[in-house]
Amino acid sequence: MVKAFIKKYRLAIVILVGGAGIILFLLTRAGPQPPTPSPSPSPRPFVLEHAFPPSGKLTLGDLGFALSFSFSSPIDLSSVVVSLKPYVGFDLFTDASGKTLYIKPLPKWDYNIEYQIVIELKSKEGETLDPPVEQTFVFTPMKTSPLREE
């Protein structure tokens, strides 16, 4: 009975066994595929991300505040060169992350004076800020204040 079955379905059996053999051969020949490498993140350029105050006129009540400049990477404080016209004495310092530079006037800014500032610096990795920061700003007094005594 088995011989009769094999004889009757010989072609179908040969096709099934042959197909299974080819599939096994292809699976074992391919072997394990190496993992697809993930793209590495592209490095961020060293740039100025935020500045306060922005260029232009700014109405203020307190002239003792520090200018702040936030960068994309920590800065090398020893590389900072500040040109300020008209010149006002100042202190330089950074925040805890090293990404924000503060320029605090000694003793304070003046009203209605146009200040021009140029800041050149490098990141801790040695990248030069290009172009340097250039800003012009004027501080104007508040006209009325609820805290003003009259």
CB 52 within 8 A of CB 68: yes
Domain 48-141 grouped into CATH 2.60.40.1220: yes
In sequence order, the β-bridge partners of residue 104 are 91
Give the tokens for residue 147. Answer: 């805290």
Pairing of strands 56-60, 133-141: parallel
pTM of the model: 0.67
Closest to 118 in 3D by CA, of 75, 78, 83, 68: 83
Give the H/E segment covering residue 137: strand 133-141
What tens digit of pLDDT does each residue of 56-94 get? 888 877 888 899 999 999 999 999 999 999 999 999 999
17: number of CA atoms within 13 Å, CB side? 7
In this structure, are residues 105 and 88 in contact, taking their beta carbons and an 8 Å threshold?
Answer: yes
Task: Return the domain boundaries, the chain.
Answer: 1-29, 48-141
Could you check whether the bond before residue 107 is cis, i.e. omega within 30 degrees of 0? yes
pLDDT over 70 at 120, yes or no:
yes
pLDDT at 2: 63
**Whose CA is closest to 103, among 131, 73, 132, 83?**
83
pLDDT tens readout for residues 15-60: 766 666 676 666 666 666 666 666 666 577 899 999 998 888 888 7
